[in-house]
Amino acid sequence: MNPVVVDSNYFLGVVTSPGPTERRDLARLPAQLFELARTDVVQFTTSEAVLAEVIWVMTKQYGLDRETVVRRVSGLLSLPGCRFPSRQLCKAALGLWVDTPALDFPDALVALQAEEGDADLATLDRRLARLTKATIWEPPAVP
């Protein structure tokens, strides 16, 4: 069986409280998928963009605190059926994001990507530049 690529609404269906009755019916599908992933019957993947959207919606629209968001999202990324190639990077970025309130999740993700890839980080965001351990890219000197 091929892995399932999961969209943000599936994640949100299991990490947030169900809304009106029709939403409860729709929440059964995400719950079923992630339950099957819990036993590795179904494998799933997603994208960093989807996770960023999920995190934004959970914090901005649902008003959940960072610790709750990290616990819920990390729990899904830790399922045996998760085949997301960036899983470990995203879990580390979630940790940095919860520990560094000045960073948003995409900034935490890109900072760790630069740090772990031993790459320079090109950013105009002074706050990010101050908070990252990555070397900030500077243009080469022109003779």
Q: How many residues does the chain have?
A: 143
DSSP, res 81: T
Would you kindly state where each structural domain of the chain is located, as residue ranges?
Answer: 4-131
pLDDT at 36: 96
pTM of this prediction? 0.87
Per-residue pLDDT of the chain (143 residues; tens, 9 = 90+): 788 999 999 999 898 876 555 556 667 899 999 999 999 999 999 999 999 999 999 999 999 999 999 999 999 999 999 999 999 999 999 999 999 999 999 999 999 999 998 899 999 999 999 989 999 999 998 87
Name, in order, each residue with C-beta under 8 angstroms of 37's C-beta and a sequence gap of 6 or more. Answer: 43, 44, 76, 79, 80, 81, 82
